[in-house]
């Protein structure tokens, strides 16, 4: 699946299941803490981390969609900025 396809999938789901969820940043913080906790264990469970990471990516795509951001273009711009600062 491409990033564009993921954006389209999240957008279609959001239109079909509208919510008034305004706690994206709080949810992202909780997910980040969960990922950090899972990564700090000696016996890392990649299945649990996969679930948390996919939730984070979903939220980020949803935020990008609401802000009309082309995530592919944004990633390319970010990479170009990183390369120019080396």
Total tally of structural domains belonging to the chain: 1
The model's pTM: 0.81
Q: Does 42 map to a domain? A: yes
Reply yes or no on whether the pLDDT at 80 is more than 90: yes
At residue 55, the pLDDT reads 92
Q: Domain range holding 43?
A: 3-14+24-84
**Which positions ≥6 away from 57 have C-beta within 8 Å?**
6
What are 20-77's pLDDT values in tens digits?
565 678 888 999 999 999 988 888 888 989 999 999 999 999 999 999 999 999 999 9
Q: Does 19 map to a domain? A: no
Question: Are 55 and 28 within 8 A, CB to CB?
Answer: no
Question: Are 51 and 31 within 8 A, CB to CB?
Answer: no
Distance CA 61, CA 38 (A): 23
Q: Does 77 map to a domain? A: yes
């Amino acid at each position: 699946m491409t990033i564009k396809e993921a954006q389209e999938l999240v957008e279609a789901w959001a239109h079909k299941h509208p919510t008034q969820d305004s706690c994206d940043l709080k949810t992202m913080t909780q997910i980040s803490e969960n990922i950090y906790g899972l990564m700090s264990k000696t016996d890392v469970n990649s299945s649990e981390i996969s679930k948390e990471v996919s939730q984070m990516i979903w939220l980020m795509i949803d935020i990008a969609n609401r802000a009309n951001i082309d995530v592919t273009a944004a990633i390319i711009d970010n990479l170009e900025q990183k390369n120019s600062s080396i």
